Copies of this chain bind each other. A is one copy, B any other.
Amino acid sequence: MPKSKICIRKMCFSVETVKRLSLYLRDLRKLAKKKIELISSNKITQLLNISPAQFRKDLSYFGEFGKRGVGYEVKKLIKKLEEILGINKEWRIAVVGVGRLGSALLRFEGFSKFNIKIKTAFDISKKKVGKVINGIKIEDVRNLERVIKKEKIKLSLICTPPQVAQDITNRLVRAGIRGILNFAPVALKAPNNVFISNVDMACELERLIFLLNNER
Contacts and interface: CB of A to CB of B under 8 A. Distances in A.
Contact of A50 (B1, B22, B84, B107): B1
B101 A210 contact: no
B207 A23 contact: no
A26 interface: yes
Interface stretch (A67-75, A120-128, A143-151, A179-187): A179-187
B1 A214 contact: no
A207 B15 contact: yes
Interface in A54-79: 54
A104 interface: yes
A203 to B, nearest CB: 4
Contact of A22 (B178, B206, B215): B206
A58 to B, nearest CB: 12
A8 B213 CA distance: 12
Interface centre among A187, A198, A210 (most CB of B within 10 A): A210
A26 to B, nearest CB: 6
Nearest to A198: B204
A171 B197 CA distance: 32
A212 B19 contact: no
8 contacts: A1-B54, A18-B210, A48-B187, A85-B206, A86-B209, A87-B209, A197-B208, A199-B199
